Amino acid sequence: MYWFTSDQHFGHTNIIKYCKRPFKDADEMDAILINNFNKLVKPGDTTIHAGDFTLKKDAAKYIERLNGKHIFLKGSHDYWQQIEYPTIWEKKIDGIYVVVCHYPFKSWPRSFHGSINLHGHCHGMLEVAPNQYDIGVDSNDYKPVNLKQILSKMKKIWKK
């Protein structure tokens, strides 16, 4: 199964204030994000992380605590990435073409043919647009989401 998430900002104390997250400090936030993740994601699952995983250089200490396989995309605050990660991920899943990027697009591959754009970056503050979904933790109860959940939430705005 594929899972999608973005904007965890592990270890980033100021994100709590900026996004009005309900955590007392970064340690509590990190523990809850990891716990929420591992309750859903199984060891054989793959998660697409659409950027802003952490600002810290020691990202491995978070990655090793998360279940499953991980595909990381470049976000606006991923200074930890030692190699050049891609900025976009595309795949047809269950007959639906999915395009994932840290940033929301005005137009994207196959956007006029029913594909969907999953993005982060906006922390739930962007107006909802057809065939787009904010996969950031701030928009999804601090949990990753799968395609079935996304499509259920998008049913009123998805143009096939």
pLDDT, residue 6, reads: 97
Amino acid at residue number 74:
K
- CATH among 3.90.320.10, 3.40.1710.10, 3.60.21.10, 3.10.20.30 for 2-154: 3.60.21.10
Q: How confident is the model at residue 159 (pLDDT cuts 50, 70, 90)?
A: low
CA nearest to 136, candidates 126, 148, 121, 125: 121
Answer yes or no: are the C-beta atoms of 19 and 8 closer than 8 Å.
no
Q: How confident is the model at residue 156 (pLDDT cuts 50, 70, 90)?
A: low
> For the chain, which residues make up each domain, given as ranges?
2-154
